[in-house]
Amino acid sequence: MPDTMAPSVVDTVELTRALVRCESVTPREAGALQLLERTLVGIGFACERMDFTQAGTDDVANLYARVGSGGKHFCFAGHSDVVPVGDLSSWTIGPFSAELSAGYLFGRGAADMKGAIAAFSEASARFLARRGRDFGGSISLLITGDEEGPAVNGTVKMLKRLAERGETIDACVVGEPTSSRRFGDMMKIGRRGSMTVDMTVRGIQGHVGYPERLDNPIHRLGAIIEAMVREPIDKGSTHFQPTSLQFTTIDVGNKATNIAPGFVKARFNTRFNDLWTSQKLLAHLKERIERASTAVGGNGVVEYTSVEVSGESFYTPPGELVELVAGAVREATGVEPELSTTGGTSDARFISRYCPVLEFGLVGETMHKVDEKSAVADLRSLARVYEMVLDRYFGA
Ligand SMILES: [Zn+2]
């Protein structure tokens, strides 16, 4: 007999609306985690705030909720923070008013990703109502308030704390809005890595009328950029797109018309696939840069002032977890989800170091945009998918 029958009254749509009304723009908690904590305690979870501070970064509130103490441990991971609203006057409804209109729930976080948190809460409530808290396994929610920001005081530290006290996770689904056009059409089984490199190209400053006395770093940088973008870095791998590289800024700040500057700064970002580690790729790119610079001749040099890796690429091979979730999506929606590794980074990159992880959630078309929204029907479908995932994972 189950020890306690938990009440099952969590409504995905109502909970999403309540969460959207909390203005939890990173790093503000704004009541979102408090609300979630009350909800989860009400259905039988033990909740623990894992708030972290670090000098030079914003204080961040996080919530870890778990029901069950043994057996297989399934974790749902997500974030309660949202990106800023941007140009408020472009919104046709209040970004935090959570209005329902024409079958949609509007508001910042409706898609990315308060809707998914609410859906998983309802799924858990229903599962626990049927099975009781003593179902022989463990379910947890790992919710950070620092995903859209620097991601320093969030998921990384929560996972570390769990590991330090010997708490292991066996499988994880992240509720990012992975569906592309239609609910259920895509899940993410990996992500590309991301690396940003700042460099300074140094030459010899001089009067433009005396080119023989100067070494123009802008011209050198031009040759370097040419060499870096002319040939693809790779052709992609079985599960990943080709590695891409984009220069994002070039800064000289030279106001004079008769002086060639002494140096120029540039920054590029690369999204790399599983053929590379950030280290291997950096070495490869530096080699390309040096070769191009040498070909220019002269005395100019390239200095690397900063290399920031926000994540290595990761990949969960199609197997038990992928098939389990894909099956639930298929059954609930009739749609076959594409197994994708496209898009930006997510906190799944941290979780992948601990257990198999994939991402599945709402349609992400309006994420980070004005008039962010989710279809009410999709919110209900997502709750059903997550509930099926729990049933399949723990055995009906
Ligand atoms: Zn997100």
Kindly give the residue spans of alpha helices, DSSP state H, lying in the chain.
12-20, 32-42, 114-131, 155-164, 217-230, 278-296, 320-333, 348-351, 376-394
Q: Which residues of the chain are modeled with pLDDT < 70?
A: 1-8, 396
Identify whether the C-beta of residue 175 lies closer than 8 Å to the C-beta of residue 76.
yes
Degrees (nearest 5) of the Cα angle 159, 160, 166?
90
Catalytic, 312? Answer no
Could you tell me the distance, in angstroms and rounded to a whole number, from the CA of residue 288 to the centre of ligand 1? 35
- Quote the CA–CA distance of 105 and 103 in Å, as a whole number: 7
Of 327, 331, 326, 333, which is closest to residue 377 (Cα–Cα)? 333
* Span from the CA of 270 to the centroid of ligand 1 (angstroms): 20
Q: If you measure from the C-alpha of residue 113 to the centroid of ligand 1, how many angstroms do you get, rounded to a whole number?
A: 5
pLDDT, residue 10, reads 96
CA 354, CA 84: separation in Å to the nearest integer? 31
Distance CA(364)–CA(378), nearest Å, equals 12
The amino acid at residue 274 is D
pLDDT of residue 318: 82
Q: Which residues surround ligand 1, an ion (CB under 5 A)?
A: 112-113, 176
Structure tokens at 150: 């620097």
Expressed in angstroms and rounded, the spacing between residue 95 Cα and the centre of ligand 1 is 16
Q: Copy the structure tokens of residue 387.
A: 């509930």
- Please state, in angstroms and rounded to a whole number, the distance separating the CA atoms of residues 68 and 5: 13
> What is the whole-number distance in angstroms between the Cα of residue 225 and the centre of ligand 1?
32
Task: Compute the distance between CA of residue 75 and CA of residue 165 in angstroms, rounded to an integer.
Answer: 16
Spatial distance between the Cα atoms of 283 and 186, rounded to a whole number of angstroms: 34
Q: In angstroms, what is the span from residue 249 Cα to ligand 1's centroid?
A: 26
Rounded distance from Cα 83 to ligand 1 centre (Å): 9
Spatial distance between the Cα atoms of 316 and 191, rounded to a whole number of angstroms: 10
Are the C-beta atoms of 365 and 215 separated by less than 8 Å?
no
Burial class (CB in 10 A: 0-12, 13-18, 19+), 354: middle
CA of 154 to the centre of ligand 1 (A): 13
Question: What integer pLDDT is reported at residue 8 of this predicted model?
Answer: 54
Strands 338-340 and 186-188, sheet pairing: parallel
Place of tokens 């022989």: 136
What's the CA gap between 271 and 324, in Å, rounded? 29
Which string of DSSP letters, residue by residue, matches 193-254? Answer: EEEEEEEEEE-B-EETT-GGG-B-HHHHHHHHHHHHHHS-S---BTTBPPPEEEEEEEE---
Ligand 1 center–CA 175 separation, angstroms: 8
Question: Exactly one of 29, 112, 122, 147 is catalytic; which is it?
Answer: 147
Tell me how far apart the alpha carbons of residues 99 and 105 are, in angstroms, rounded to a whole number.
6
The active-site residue out of 81, 274, 347, 359 is: 81
CB 82 within 8 A of CB 367: no
Q: How far is the CA of 347 from the centre of ligand 1 (A)?
A: 9
pTM of the predicted model as reported, rounded to 2 decimal places: 0.86
CB of 154 closer than 8 Å to CB of 51: no
Residue 87 annotated as catalytic:
no
Cα(147) to ligand 1 centroid in Å equals 7
Residue 105's DSSP bridge partners are 100, 374
Which residue from 93, 105, 101 is spatially nearest to 20, judged by alpha carbons? Answer: 105
Distance 79 CA to ligand 1 centre (A): 7
Q: d(Cα 349, Cα 186) in Å, to the nearest integer?
A: 18
pLDDT at 1: 40
